Chains A and B, each alone.
Chain A
Amino acid sequence: DAGVTQSPTHLIKTRGQQVTLRCSPKSGHDTVSWYQQALGQEPQFIFQYYEEEERQRGNFPDRFSGHQFPNYSSELNVNALLLGDSALYLCASSLLAGNTIYFGEGSWLTVV
């Protein structure tokens, strides 16, 4: 049973560029959430997708957008990258009302 998978593992982008991160949820899960974790900080909730719609959003600008596909996989897009966007981006999957959330290994984004 595959867990939560994320790609790419590491990437380096230049300020002003755009990036897309991908996530496949754990088998049987229908809800995907994205978190940003800056170095030395706790994860911060970006948004959550269920039934291909954004259901809840944290305090992040519109530069951060996402998508969920019919197979429940998800993408996180960040436009006009800033140096401060450098962080570990974690994908988490669950059932919408489930009591357990599993995380992927994350995508390390460095903006130079």
Chain B
Amino acid sequence: AQTVTQSQPEMSVQEAETVTLSCTYDTSESDYYLFWYKQPPSRQMILVIRQEAYKQQNATENRFSVNFQKAAKSFSLKISDSQLGDAAMYFCAYRSHEGTGANSKLTFGKGITLSVRP
């Protein structure tokens, strides 16, 4: 079974600064997806960024980028130019891409609460 670990329960960043959220995972599969989701107080789960394991290039979405280290099974999220609206719970998630898709459930880490100081 796959596991996702987010060891930092909370982090804080100054507005306009950069912050990195850590995530490690464990799997025996070679083909999978990794995600970062943002969950603000409204509890809406919002997709931030996605990484396909077969791609060596790190995914980037505007101010959000990842550092994907497949051998180390590490998937960190970097938020640049932090904004007050970035304050939320962030979840790292794993999804298998092997077989017919029947194992396509998301496995989440425990999440990290990010606060942004004005």
Contacts and interface: CB of A to CB of B under 8 A. Distances in A.
A18 B86 CA distance: 37
A102 B50 CA distance: 12
B105 A103 contact: no
Most buried by A among B103, B108, B110: B108
Given A45-B105, A56-B105, A99-B52, A105 B43 contact: yes
A16 interface: no
A58 to B, nearest CB: 7
B45 A100 contact: no
Size class of A's contact patch? 20 to 34
Interface of A: 31, 33, 35, 37, 41-45, 48, 55-56, 58, 88, 90, 92, 94, 96-97, 99-103, 105-106, 108
Given A43-B45, A105-B43, A106-B44, A99 B106 contact: no
Interface of B: 33, 35, 37, 42-47, 50, 52, 91, 95, 97, 100-111
Given A42-B111, A45-B106, A88-B43, A97 B52 contact: no
B103 A56 contact: yes
Contacts, number: 64
B108 A42 contact: yes
A100 B105 contact: no
B91 A42 contact: yes
A43 B100 contact: no
Interface of A is mostly: strand
14 contacts: A31-B104, A42-B108, A43-B106, A45-B105, A56-B102, A58-B105, A96-B100, A97-B97, A99-B52, A100-B50, A101-B35, A103-B44, A103-B47, A106-B44
B43 A96 contact: no
B104 A94 contact: yes
